[in-house]
Homo-oligomer: A and B are copies of this chain.
Amino acid sequence: MDAALAARSLLEDHPYGWSLPQPFYVDDDFFALDMEHVFAPNWVFVGHTCEVPMPGDWLRVDLGVDSVVVVRGTDGEVRAFFNTCRHRGSLICLEAAGHARRLTCPYHRWTYNLDGSFAGARYLGDDFDGSDFGLQPVHCQAVAGYVFICLADEPPDLEPFAEGVAPFLAPHGMDELKVAYSERLVENCNWKLVMENNRECYHCVGAHPELMVVIDEFDGPGSKVTPSEVEAKARTVAAWDAADIVHTQTTAGGNEWRAVRIPFVNDAAAMTIDGSPACARVLGTIDDSMRSLGSVRLLHLPNTWNHVQSDHVLSFSVLPISAGETLLITRWLVHRDAVEGIDYDLEHLTRVWKATNRQDATLAEQNQRGIRTRGYRPGPYAPAIEAGTADFTAWYAEQLRRRLPR
């Protein structure tokens, strides 16, 4: 409660466009506020439906101290439950992913159906009523194959997001994907520094030589780079308009979510080390002759950004561990019929963002370390190039202002 009062007081004076006061990045009690008032009440991206294609397939997701299992039921529905047995609380699913006819606790073999209901256990006696002992449900909803969970009792409405992004994703065959590769990277920094870092490309020059092959540092619909680059982007956008490819940034999601299609520079086809295609098999209804689709930037706060491209999809899931530790899961998805070694090469597919993730982790960890000193003062985001970061911070502050107890 003390942390809540301190947070509320600090946010009252916090101006738009400035980084946050120190405790928001380093304090354990403030971290608990983030989990309670920012992560729990919102939809959090945790994986893809194609990772649980069959009934009984499950994914385990750890979020702070919580552990959740996402599982496809016999009816084909994807549901989520707390990964803790109703008997004595043991974890049920121990690996990152698996398959089971029923979910069985490894401790005393209490068993649950795939819809979370209690299925049976030995020695419970005749008057035991299993209907009181189903797994604790967690809200779960899929949009274009993205699985979101919400830990709160009353989740917000995810429909506007689903409707808003649908036209952007339509050409990309989001129901025909598979995960070609995934990476789990623990960064020793607060989750907000991972997000702040991603929301601007002010740091890209120098930091991201691989990434700068395909994007420019303004990386927005209105580029401020060289005239020839502006011209090239304009040509690409004109071609999209001619082909009815949706690209104009959504506004309905405010700072919380957005979709926008942005051209790559240098006529790049995909986020590879030379801009060449990442996969021979294009996605969905995309014509192989029209590779220059840039990427759909799909943002959903608090925890995901994405690059949906002509031949692969890159998704990022930011999962806080503690005030100073964050897990970033990156997934590279390709067409489900694409064949490794023939249609795509893993090294070529993953090289740019494997490198970029490591570079960003180093920057964010140095940021965290510097914020811990008593010399730290909140500073101004550069308006011309860090507006995305300013918007993220504004959204975050609004979440706390709205929910912190008075």
Residue positions of A touching B, CB distance < 8 A: 19, 65-68, 81-92, 94, 106-109, 121-125, 128, 133, 135-136, 138, 151, 196, 202-203, 205-207, 363, 366-367, 369-385
Contact = CB atoms under 8 A, between A and B. Distances in A.
A79 to B, nearest CB: 14
A203 B107 contact: yes
A264 B379 CA distance: 55
Contact of A202 (B123, B125, B202): B123
Contacts of A207: 107
Contact of A375 (B83, B122, B128, B371): B83
A223 to B, nearest CB: 14
Contact of A85 (B81, B84, B92, B379): B379
A88 B379 contact: yes
Copies of this chain, whole number: 3
B94 A366 contact: yes
Nearest to A82: B375
Contacts of A381: 88
Given A19-B88, A89-B19, A106 B382 contact: no
Question: From DSSP, what is the main secondary structure of chain A's interface residues?
Answer: loop
A65 B23 CA distance: 13
A370 B89 contact: yes
Given A107-B366, A108-B203, A376-B84, A125 B90 contact: no
A65 B106 contact: no
A331 B378 CA distance: 36
Contacts of A66: 372-375
B374 A151 contact: yes
Given A65-B374, A90-B369, A123-B202, 4 more contacts: A66-B374, A67-B370, A83-B373, A90-B367
A202 B334 CA distance: 46
A98 to B, nearest CB: 15
> Which 3 pairs across A and B sit closest by C-beta, in order of nearness?
A82-B375, A84-B370, A91-B370
A132 to B, nearest CB: 9
A341 to B, nearest CB: 38
Contacts of A90: 363, 366-367, 369-370
A137 to B, nearest CB: 9
A89 B24 CA distance: 13
A89 B376 contact: yes
A205 B122 CA distance: 11
A258 B217 CA distance: 57
Contacts of A68: 373, 375
A133 B67 contact: no
Given A82-B373, A123-B385, A373-B65, A87 B380 contact: yes
Contact of A67 (B124, B135, B196, B373): B373
B87 A379 contact: yes
Contact of A88 (B81, B85, B196): B196
Contact of A367 (B88, B205, B373, B375): B88
Contacts of A380: 87, 128
A83 B382 contact: no
A218 B115 CA distance: 32
Contacts of A19: 88-89
Contacts of A85: 370, 379
Contacts of A121: 382
Contacts of A363: 90, 106-107
A375 B123 contact: no
A106 B125 CA distance: 60
A122 B224 CA distance: 13
A207 to B, nearest CB: 8
